[in-house]
Chains A and B, each alone.
Chain A
Amino acid sequence: MARTRQARHTSLKVGDRVVSNVPGFNWNGVVVEDRGDLGIDGGQIVMIRIGDEDEGERFEIRADDLDRVAA
C-alpha cells in the first residue's frame, strides 16, 4: 500500500510509522518508545524499530529527523 508523507509533527507517539527526512537514509520504521525531551536542545528523542519485531534493528533518533507516515 502506498504511504503518504504527512505534515511535520509536533510529537511522535509509540506506534507511529515514520520515515527519515534526512538525505541518505531511506527507512520505514515504527516508534517503539518515546524517550521524552532528552535532546540537548529540549527536542524529543524516540526509539524506533526497523524491520521485524523480534530481529529488527532498534536505535534512538531525534523526532525532528523523522516524518510520520500514514499506516
Chain B
Amino acid sequence: MASKSLREWQTDAWAAFDEIEHAHHAVGGTKPGRRFLTQQLNYAYTALLAAHFQGFARSLHTQTVNAVALGAHNATYRLLLQRSLTRRRALERHNAHPNSIAEDFARLGLDIWTLADQERSGNGERRRKLLALITWRNAITHDDIDGKLEKGALEPTTVSLGTCRSWRSALNVLATSLDKVAADQCQTLGLPRPW
C-alpha cells in the first residue's frame, strides 16, 4: 500500500519524465545543433525532476498531517493541528532541498533523513544526488550555470541524459522510503497506519 502522493509520483511524474525521454529520441541524429538541443532537454528534465519531487514531498506532508489531524479527539483540535502543521511550510517557499523536507517533517516529530537512511541502505548517497539535482535546478532556472561552475558548486559539472536518469532512479527510491517513514510515524503516534 502506498500513499496517494507516491502513486501520483509513480504515474503522473513518471509519465512526464517519459515524455522528455521520448523527446530525446526524437532529436536523434548527428547533425550540428543536436548537442545544443539535447542539452536544453537535459536542463528541462532537471527542472521537471525537481518540480515533481517538490510536489510529491509537499503532498506527502499534506497527507501525513491529515492522518495525524484525524486522530484528534474533536473537530476544533483537528483544525488547530491542521493549521499549525501546514502554515509557512518550507516546501511552499522553497524547492525540495533536503533541508526543506527535513524542516517540514520535523513538525511531525520526524528526523526524516535519519529514518530514511535506516530504512534503506544507500539513501545517504541518494540524498546527496537530490542535493546535486536541486543545486543544478537552481543554476538552470536562475541562469547561473557559469557562475556556479566557477565556484565549483555543481557536481557533476555537466548534465547528460545519464545524469538525469541517475537522479530519477535515486528519487524513486527516496520517494518510497519517505512514504514508508511517514506512515511509520503515524503508527508511532498511536494512529492507524494511513497507507
| Contact surface of A with B, Cβ cutoff 8 Å | 20, 22-25, 35, 37-41, 45, 57-62, 65
Contacts and interface: CB of A to CB of B under 8 A. Distances in A.
B88 to A, nearest CB: 8
Given A23-B76, A35-B62, A38-B59, A61 B83 contact: yes
Interface string B57-87: 0010011011100100001101100110011
Nearest to B70: A40
Contacts of B67: 40
Nearest to B77: A24
Contacts of A20: 79
B5 interface: yes
A51 to B, nearest CB: 12
B66 A39 contact: yes
Interface residues of B, number: 21
A61 B65 contact: no
Contacts of A25: 76, 79
Given A58-B92, A59-B82, A45 B76 contact: no
Contacts of A61: 79, 82-83, 86
Contacts of A41: 70
- Among A22, A45, A58, A59, the one with the most B-chain Cβ atoms within 10 Å of its Cβ is A59
Instruction: Kindly name the residue among B66, B82, B88 whose own CB sees the greatest number of chain A CB atoms within 10 A.
Output: B66
